[in-house]
């Protein structure tokens, strides 16, 4: 690829496994190495019918578990979410007074419905619903998609992919290695960079997914808003101690998780306040165990993803993980936009044939370009 690649406007899309009903859409001007300009960002809500369809699809995906032909519902869900996300891209671009002709590429992550990490005995598997060719037809611009499969096929974890973008953000902020990035989505993942050539990333444990599922199962809404339920409860220390013995937490990185590897069943038998407090404490304490695995333990975490809005999690990162935790906005980043920005960034890297995963992030044998391009 040409070395003099000029920065282009890219649009990134992300819908997380937490199923909050929103499409994250962000614009970024980048050459895939550094960020020239942050563009517009929005949350575009799915209609309730689409949210219900995705919940059903995830439940069916877990029963399927990569055995036999794909469930028929996948094709239906894939088309509906591709059309919805294409419309969200077009709306954001046009709201900025631009046309799709001004966009160099769209980074379309798709909806993860199942992710199976590799073991010593077999390679992993992953499935994101998203029809890149259809999105290209609808929008008329290049679309980068299916970012994880190539990494998995090469023996990698397929996740996390955000490390390269976190590194680009840290480059403009703190190159001492004392600051790491923590993303709290359905699953939590950390990125640590020493400011030179060592970039490490892995999933630390669950984040919002089990807690949200627990809240829903108790008929208390969609999430523990403002951490109020957890803050009103007392952590069941005996249960927490048992949960922290899970072998994943002490396993060496690289490693990755599916959204359902840790579930709300961790709080079975606990009242809502105790359960919420205990699940929240587990997320924070698991982060602490993850930081202990790093060559140098960070002193500060910049927290992005929806979990940064939960004061209970943020406070417990201090008390249970032993680290200063600050929301992304504190350092001038857009905490809700980072995952979508990341896929705009990775889309440009994919266009350029630059690697998007590395031995110390996904465990892939060599730095690897990934993603397919439609158009």
Structure tokens at 37: 């300009």
Nearest partner of 84 among 135, 118, 35, judged by Cα:
135
Distance CA 95, CA 88 (A): 11
Task: Give this prediction's pTM.
Answer: 0.93
DSSP codes joined into one string, 118-160: --SSS--EEEEE--HHHHHHHH-S-EEE--SHHHHHTT-----
Do 8-159+339-374 and 163-322 have matching folds?
yes
Query: Given this model, what pLDDT does residue 47 score?
Result: 93
- The residues near 56 (Cβ < 8 Å, ≥ 6 apart) are 73
Query: Given this model, what pLDDT does residue 226 score?
Result: 98
Question: Using CB atoms within 10 A of its CB, is residue 252 exposed (0-12), middle (13-18) or buried (19+)?
Answer: exposed
Distance CA 171, CA 182 (A): 16
Query: Given this model, what pLDDT does residue 2 score?
Result: 45
Distance CA 339, CA 358 (A): 18
Alpha helices (runs of H) in the chain, residue ranges in sequence order: 48-64, 73-95, 132-139, 149-153, 163-171, 208-217, 228-232, 237-243, 247-250, 272-293, 311-321, 338-352
- For residue range 86-140, list pLDDT tens digits in order: 999 999 999 999 999 999 999 999 999 999 999 999 999 999 999 999 999 999 9
What does the DSSP 8-state code read for residue 43?
Answer: E
Residues of the chain with pLDDT under 70: 1-3, 18
Report domain extents, the chain.
8-159+339-374, 163-322
Nearest partner of 263 among 186, 203, 322, judged by Cα:
186
The CATH H-level superfamily of 163-322 is: ATPase, nucleotide binding domain (3.30.420.40)
8-159+339-374, CATH topology level:
Nucleotidyltransferase; domain 5 (3.30.420)
Distance CA 91, CA 69 (A): 35
Type and span of the H or E element at 40: strand 35-45
- Distance of alpha carbon 61 from the chain centroid: 19
Query: Given this model, what pLDDT does residue 39 score?
Result: 98
Q: Are 93 and 106 in contact (CB under 8 A)?
A: no
Query: Given this model, what pLDDT does residue 1 score?
Result: 44
Query: Given this model, what pLDDT does residue 3 score?
Result: 60
∠ CA 354-360-362, rounded to 5°: 75
Nearest partner of 112 among 182, 191, 57, 190, judged by Cα:
57
């Amino acid at each position: 690829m040409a070395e003099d690649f000029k920065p282009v406007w890219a649009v990134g899309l992300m819908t997380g496994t937490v199923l909050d009903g929103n499409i994250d859409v962000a614009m970024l001007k980048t050459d895939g190495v550094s960020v020239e300009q942050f563009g517009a960002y929005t949350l575009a809500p799915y209609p309730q019918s689409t949210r219900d369809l995705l919940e059903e699809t995830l439940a069916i995906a877990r029963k399927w578990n990569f055995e036999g032909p794909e469930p028929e519902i996948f094709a239906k869900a894939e088309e509906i979410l591709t059309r919805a996300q294409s419309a969200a891209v077009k709306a954001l671009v046009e709201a900025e007074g631009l046309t799709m002709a001004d966009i160099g590429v769209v980074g379309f992550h798709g909806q993860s419905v199942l992710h199976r990490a590799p073991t010593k005995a077999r390679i992993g598997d992953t499935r994101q619903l998203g029809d890149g060719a259809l999105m290209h037809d609808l929008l008329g611009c290049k679309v980068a998609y299916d970012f994880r499969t190539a990494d998995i096929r090469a023996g990698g974890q397929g996740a996390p992919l955000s490390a390269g973008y976190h590194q680009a953000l840290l480059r403009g902020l703190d190159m001492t290695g004392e600051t790491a990035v923590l993303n709290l989505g359905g699953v939590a993942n950390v990125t640590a960079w020493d400011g030179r050539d060592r970039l490490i990333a892995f999933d630390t444990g669950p984040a919002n997914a089990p807690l949200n599922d627990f809240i829903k199962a108790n008929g208390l809404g969609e999430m523990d808003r403002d951490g109020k339920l957890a803050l009103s409860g007392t952590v069941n220390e005996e249960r927490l101690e048992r949960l922290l013995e899970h072998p994943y937490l002490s396993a060496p990185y690289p490693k990755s998780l599916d959204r359902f590897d840790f579930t709300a069943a961790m709080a079975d038998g606990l009242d809502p306040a105790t359960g919420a407090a205990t699940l929240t404490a587990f997320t924070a304490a698991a982060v602490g165990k993850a930081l202990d695995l790093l060559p140098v333990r960070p002193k500060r975490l910049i927290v992005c993803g929806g979990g940064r809005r939960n004061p209970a999690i943020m406070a417990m990162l201090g008390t249970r993980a032993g680290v200063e935790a600050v929301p992304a906005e504190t350092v001038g980043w857009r905490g809700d936009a980072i995952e979508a920005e990341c896929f705009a960034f990775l889309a440009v890297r994919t266009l350029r044939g630059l690697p998007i995963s590395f031995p110390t992030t996904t465990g892939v044998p060599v730095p690897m370009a990934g993603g397919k391009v439609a158009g």
